Amino acid sequence: MLALDGAGRIVATNRPRWRGRWLSPEDRTDLQSLHARTEMRGEHLLVSLPAAEGRRLYLKAAKNLPVLDWSVAVFFDASAVTRQAATAALIAILLTLIVTGLAWIVAERRLRLQARLRGERAAALRLERRVRDRTRDLTRANQRLGEEVREREAAEAELRRTQDELVQTAKLATLGQMSAALSHEFNQPLAVIRSQADNAELLVQRGRCAEAGESLRKIAAMVDRMATISRTLKGFARKPGTQTQPVPVGPVIDEALMLLSPRIKRSQAQISFERPPRELAVAADAVLLEQVVMNLLVNALDAVGEEGGEIRITTETCGGGEVLIRVIDDGPGIDAEARGHIFDPFFTTKDVGEGLGLGLSIADKIVRDFGGQLVLEESLEGGAGSVFAVHLPQAELAVAG
Ligand code: ADP
How far is 64 from 71, CA to CA, in rounded Å? 4
Helix (H) or strand (E) holding 339: helix 336-339
What pLDDT, on the 0 to 100 scale, is given for residue 232? 61
What pLDDT, on the 0 to 100 scale, is given for residue 162? 82
- What's the 221 CA to ligand 1 centre distance in angstroms? 24
User: b or e along 69-97 (b: 16 or more beta carbons within 10 Å of the residue's beta carbon)?
Assistant: eebbbebeebeeebeeeeeeeeeeeeeee
What pLDDT, on the 0 to 100 scale, is given for residue 307? 75
What pLDDT, on the 0 to 100 scale, is given for residue 352? 64
Q: Could you list the pLDDT tens digit for every one of the 401 residues in the chain? A: 999 998 889 999 998 888 888 888 888 777 888 888 888 888 888 888 888 778 888 888 888 989 888 999 998 888 787 788 889 999 999 999 999 999 999 999 999 999 999 999 999 999 999 999 999 999 999 999 999 999 999 999 998 888 777 666 766 765 666 676 577 667 777 888 998 999 999 999 999 999 999 999 989 988 887 886 676 666 555 555 557 899 999 999 998 888 888 788 888 889 999 889 989 999 998 888 988 998 999 999 999 987 778 999 999 998 889 999 999 999 999 988 899 889 887 788 887 667 778 889 888 988 998 999 999 998 766 668 899 999 999 999 876 54
What atom of ligand 1 comes closest to residue 298's alpha carbon? 2
Protein residue whose Cα sits closest to atom 1 of ligand 1: 357
What pLDDT, on the 0 to 100 scale, is given for residue 267? 86
What atom of ligand 1 comes closest to residue 347's alpha carbon? 10
What atom of ligand 1 comes closest to residue 329's alpha carbon? 23
Sign of the dihedral through C-alpha 94, 100, 106, 109 = negative
How far is 185 from 355, CA to CA, in rounded Å? 9
Can you list the domains of the chain with their CATH numbers?
2-68 (no CATH), 242-395 (3.30.565.10)
- What's the 194 CA to ligand 1 centre distance in angstroms? 31
Q: Give Cα 44 distance to the centre of its chain.
A: 95
Protein residue whose Cα sits closest to atom 20 of ligand 1: 299
What pLDDT, on the 0 to 100 scale, is given for residue 50? 84
How far is 126 from 212, CA to CA, in rounded Å? 107
How far is 330 from 113, CA to CA, in rounded Å? 93
Longest dimension (CA), the chain: 205
CB 314 within 8 A of CB 389: no
How far is 379 from 282, CA to CA, in rounded Å? 25
How far is 289 from 247, CA to CA, in rounded Å? 9
Residues within 6 Å of ligand 1 by CB: 295, 299-300, 303, 329, 331, 334, 338, 342, 347-350, 355-361, 386
Specify the DSSP class assigned to residue 387. E
CB 40 within 8 A of CB 29: no
- What's the 339 CA to ligand 1 centre distance in angstroms? 10
What pLDDT, on the 0 to 100 scale, is given for residue 24? 84
State how far the alpha carbon of 98 is from the alpha carbons of 90, 95, 108, 145, in Å: 12, 5, 15, 68
What pLDDT, on the 0 to 100 scale, is given for residue 173? 63
How far is 107 from 101, CA to CA, in rounded Å? 10
